[in-house]
Structure 1
Amino acid sequence: MISEPDRRKTVELIETAREAGARLIPACQILEISARTYQRWTKAGSVLKDRRPEAIRPVPANKLTPDERQRVLDMCHQKENASQPPSQMVPKLADQGQYIASESSFYRIIHEVNEQNHRGRSQKPRKSTPPKGFCATGPNQVWTWDITWLPTSIRGMFFYLYMIVDVFSRKIVGWEVYNRECSSNAATFVHKAVLAEGCILKPLVLHSDNGSPQKGSTLNAKLESLGIMASFSRPRVSN
C-alpha cells in the first residue's frame, strides 16, 4: 500500500518526465507502476489517497460467535490440552465426534488473546547460531584436507589419498598415499606438511569433514602439539 506522500512524489516525477518528452508508459515502468494506476490516482485532477483502509467490509457469514470463541479458549485451557497445539487438539476432537472450529481459527483466537506461546512441557524452539567461519588473507592460514579412495586392480581393495589444500592460494601443500585410512596416518601426514611449509606453532586452521580419521584422538593430539586449530563441517553439510 503506497502512502499519499509517496503517491504525490511519484506523480510529480512522471509529470516532470512527460514535460521533458517522455512517454507515459515507459515513465511508469521505471517507477514500477502501471499507466492505469497513474490514471486512477490522478483522474480527479489531484492525487487521491488510498481509501482501502476506510472501506466498510461485511461481516463474514461464518464468523464465530462470542460463545464459540469462548468454547475454543475453554478447550485450550483444559488440563489434557495444556501441552498440545491446535494441530493436535483439532484432530483429537474430530476423533471424538466434536467440531468447534478449524485449526487456523484455533491459532487465530489464541494469538488474539496472547496465548500462542510456549505450552506445557514441550521444549522451546532453539535459535541456531550461525556457523563459525574463517577468512584466509594469505597463505598458510587456513588449510582444508580430505581422504579419497583410489581403486586398485583387485576388486574391493583401495589405496587412500591424503591431500591438503591451502584455501587462499589453492596450493596442494601435501599429499600422500596410504594403504589404510586411520588417524595415526593422518597425524603423520599433517606433521610432514607443516614441516614442509615451515609453519610450526604459527596460527593455522585445518578444516575437514567429520570422518573418523579427521576426528581421531591421535590426530587431535598432534594438532594440539603443533598449535593448529581444528575446524569441522556442520553435520550433513558438505565442505
Structure 2
Amino acid sequence: MTLAHVDEALEKGVRLEVICERLGVAPRTIQRWRKPATAEDRRCGPHTRPANRLSEVERRRILAVANSEEFRDASPKQIVPRLADRGEYVASEASFYRVLREAGQLAHRGHAKAPTPRPRAEHTATGPNQVWSWDITYLKGPVKGAFLYLYLVVDVFSRRIVGFAVHDEESSTHASVLIRRSWQEAGCPEGLVLHSDNGGPMKGATLLATLQWLGVTPSFSRPRVSDDNAFSEALFRTLKYRPSFPRRPFASVEDAHDWVTRFVVWYNTEHRHSAIRFVTPDDRHFSREAALLARRHRVYQRARARHPERWSRDTRDWTPAGPVRLGPSPNLTPAVQEMKRIG
C-alpha cells in the first residue's frame, strides 16, 4: 500500500528524495521494496575471515562453561566476572552471547517466567463516546501531608471532560460510581473503550465488574510507561497550570469540588484546544466544529482577497482534526501513520 502511494506521488511529479524525506526512509529502501520476493540477494559479505576469530576449540569451551552445572542458570553477565574472580579468562561477555546465540542457546535461564512483551494499546476514535481516558491526580488538602484525589474522565476524540469527582481517598468503589454516572449521562454509549494506567483503583474488582456490566471495554497502559495515558496527563497539566489554580491547599473536599466545577465549565465551553484546531471540546463533541471552522476559512479567504500580496502560500488549515488515535506506534513517522490510516 505504501508503494502505491509512492508511485502516485511520483506520477504527480514529486521527487523521490522528497517522498523519502516525508516517509523517513532512504531511497535505497524504496528500491529494495520494489524487488520481487524471489529476487536473489547479491550481497556477498566479507571475503576473508577475521584474524581474531574464535577457534572451534574455543567455541566448544565457551559452550561447555555456559552449560556446566556451576553456570547453567547464570547469564554471561554473571559468568565472566565469576571466572575473572578465579583468575580465568575464557572469552568476553559479547563472545559468550554471540556463541550462545549461534548455538540456539540464548534463551531465558532459571525458573522464573521469562518476560513477555506487552503490545501498546491502540484505539482509534472517529467520534465522541468511543474512547475515554481517565486518571486520578493529587490535590493539596487541609491537612499537611494528606491529599485530596481528583477523579477525571475525558473523551479522547473531543477532549471534553465527561465526568469528575473529588474524594479524600483512592478507591475502586468511587471510580465505579463515577464511571457509571458518566456513562449514563453520555446516553449509555455502546462499544465504549475506557483507557487508564495500572493503578490500584483502575484494576480494582469493583470497577472491573462495573465495566463488564456496562459493556465497557477496559484498556490499560504498559507497566512503568508514563506516557501511555497522555490525554489524562496533559489535562491535569492544563488544570494545575491555570492562573486561577489555588496556590494554597483546598480547605475541604467541597471547596475542591467547587473549583473543579468552574474549571470544567471553562475547559469544555471556552478553552480553544490546540489539538483540535482550536475549537472548544463542546464544539467538537456536539458536532459544531465543521460550521465553525468553515466560517474561519471564509474569514481568511476574504482577508487574502483584500491583500493577496501578504499571502505567499495557502491560508491557514481550518479543516476538522479528524480521527484521534490513542497510543500510535512511536516507530512510524506521521506520514506513514496517515498512509496506514487511509489504506
Q: What's the TM-score, normalizing by structure 1? A: 0.59
Deviations 1:126-178 (A, max 9, x none): 55242232111110001111223322344345433222110000011112333
Distance of aligned partners of 1:92 and 1:149 in 2 relative to their CA distance in 1, 3 Å threshold: closer
> Residue 85 of structure 2 aligns with which residue?
95
Q: Which amino acid aligns with 1:180?
A: E
Is contact 1:159-1:180 (8 Å) kept? yes
Q: Which amino acid aligns with 1:236?
A: R
Q: Given the alignment, which residue of 162, 178, 191 partners 1:203?
A: 191
Matches for 1:18-37 after TM superposition, within 5 Å: none
Distance of aligned partners of 1:53 and 1:77 in 2 relative to their CA distance in 1, 3 Å threshold: closer
Matches for 1:54-133 after TM superposition, within 5 Å: 60=51, 72=62, 75=65, 78-106=68-96, 114=103, 116-118=105-107, 126-133=115-122
1:135 equivalent in alignment to 2:143: no
Distance of aligned partners of 1:195 and 1:71 in 2 relative to their CA distance in 1, 3 Å threshold: closer
> Residue 215 of structure 1 aligns with which residue?
203
Q: Which amino acid aligns with 1:131?
A: R
Secondary structure of the residue aligned to 1:194 is helix
Which range is displaced more, 138-147 or 204-213? 204-213
Is contact 1:147-1:160 (8 Å) kept? yes
Query: What displacement does 1:211 show?
Result: 2.2
Q: Which amino acid aligns with 2:188?
A: C
> Residue 148 of structure 2 aligns with which residue?
159
Secondary structure of the residue aligned to 2:125 is coil
Query: What displacement does 1:194 show?
Result: 1.4
**Larger radius of gyration, structure 1 or 2?**
1
Instruction: Give the number of equivalent residue pairs.
Output: 187
Distance of aligned partners of 1:122 and 1:53 in 2 relative to their CA distance in 1, 3 Å threshold: same
Q: Which amino acid aligns with 2:159?
A: R
Secondary structure of the residue aligned to 1:180 is coil
Secondary structure of the residue aligned to 1:135 is strand
Which range is displaced more, 149-158 or 120-129? 120-129
Deviations 1:93-144 (A, max 9, x none): 33333344444455556666x3654487577965524223211111000111
Higher RCO (CA 8 Å, separation ≥ 6 residues): 2
> Residue 220 of structure 2 aligns with which residue?
232
Is contact 1:140-1:199 (8 Å) kept? no
Secondary structure of the residue aligned to 2:180 is helix
Q: Which runs of 5+ in 1 are unaligned?
A: 1-30, 32-51
Q: Which runs of 5+ in 2 are unaligned?
A: 1-26, 28-44, 230-343
